[in-house]
Amino acid sequence: MERVGLAVIGAGYWGPNLVRNAQATPGLRLEYLCDLDRERAGRVLGEYSTVRAGDSLEEVLGDPAVSAVAIATPAATHLKVAMAALEAGKHVLVEKPLATNLAEGRQLTAAAERRGLVLMLDHTYCYTPAVRHLRELIRSGGVGSIQYLDSVRINLGLVQPDVDVLWDLAPHDLSVFDAILPDGVRPVAVAAHGSDPIGAGRACVAHLTIRLSGGAMAHVHVNWLSPTKIRTMVIGGSRRTAVWDDLNPSQRLSIYDRGVETYDPAELPPEKREQTIVSYRVGEMVAPALTEQEALRAVMAEFAGSIRERRSPLTDGRSGLRVLALLEAATESLRSDGAFVEIPEETV
């Protein structure tokens, strides 16, 4: 099977990870690592690499051996770099977020769709074995109807110079929500509250509350200032509750057959109607056996597969738009003292 010729754009923090996983993906053939600092690109590749190091985006995009690019440059450059690649007829994998705002994201999505090209987001967590299992479980009805989602992503992290903690950390959780929620369940409004206790000039601690269609609620807590690192997500359903602990390699996912059974008071005897409207179900816990594998390897395989098979990837451009819509609404809510802001329906 012919491999897809790939160029990685950006040799900074994330670029080397893309290089390593691209070289290990059978469906890809890495042709270039391109960076404004050509020497840095060369150091990433090593002295004996056959992959070319370059500093000219135009040269890379003009090479017919390159069919696709993976972009790991700052978010402010995503529109310019990704649009240039799409206009050159290249498929695009881009780091989160898709763009710095929803309008720019729409430009990229429309350009890819007009040209019949793959536009994919590297929402890496969506490709972990735990989230893939959650997606299958939830979308097959294994947890029943969604009652709530609660996610915590906190650590002593780098205070970013250009974005607040919501734009830095929350895309991970929002993209996972987008991947696992069943058809027909979507965010309809979001409220955000944040604080800047260290005077950084942007929110360093934030809480998101998301109203979902059907009446369920989702919650996200992100924090750069916590000395304790926590990466957990709880998905409560009418049948089961799933707990994902990404920092527990021996038991990343736990499925609990525990919850609340509700009753219609009209179905109860008169003497119990005022006392009993719920009962508690306590069943077993199951920890599914999950194969440990690097999620970024699965990202690269999905990118190559979607190009060869001419299909949309799991985290396509529209999934990136949905995440951007939530982030923009959250920013507006922060400016409005935490008022709920509706999510544009056209991003669904």
Domain boundaries, the chain: 4-125+295-315
DSSP 250: T
Contact (Cβ atoms closer than 8 angstroms) between residue 94 and residue 175: no
Any idea which residue has 């409220």 for tokens? 191
pLDDT of residue 263: 58
Superfamily of domain 4-125+295-315: NAD(P)-binding Rossmann-like Domain (3.40.50.720)
Token pair for residue 193?
Answer: 């509250």
Contact (Cβ atoms closer than 8 angstroms) between residue 96 and residue 104: no
Closest to 184 (Cα-Cα) out of 212, 154, 222: 212
pLDDT of residue 50: 87
Per-residue pLDDT of the chain (348 residues; tens, 9 = 90+): 689 999 999 999 899 999 999 999 999 999 999 999 999 999 999 877 889 999 999 999 999 999 999 999 999 999 999 999 999 999 999 999 999 999 999 999 999 999 999 999 999 999 999 999 999 999 999 999 999 999 999 999 888 888 899 999 999 999 999 999 999 899 999 999 999 999 999 999 999 999 999 899 999 999 999 999 999 999 999 999 999 999 999 999 999 997 666 656 666 666 665 555 666 667 788 999 998 889 999 999 999 999 999 999 999 999 999 999 999 999 999 999 999 999 987 654
Between CA 55 and CA 245 the distance in angstroms is 40
Between CA 308 and CA 5 the distance in angstroms is 12
pLDDT of residue 277: 60
Secondary structure of residue 281 in the 3-state scheme: strand
Beta strands in the chain (DSSP E): 4-9, 28-34, 52-54, 68-71, 91-95, 119-122, 146-156, 187-195, 205-212, 217-223, 225-237, 241-245, 253-262, 278-286, 341-342
pLDDT of residue 262: 63
pLDDT of residue 100: 93
Q: What does the buried/exposed string (b/e) look like for 70-89 if buried means 16 or more CB atoms within 10 Å of the residue's CB? A: bbbbebeebbebbbbbbebe
Count of C-beta atoms within a 10 Å radius of residue 265: 11
For residue 157, CA distances in Å to 134, 138, 193, 227, 248 come to: 27, 31, 19, 9, 20
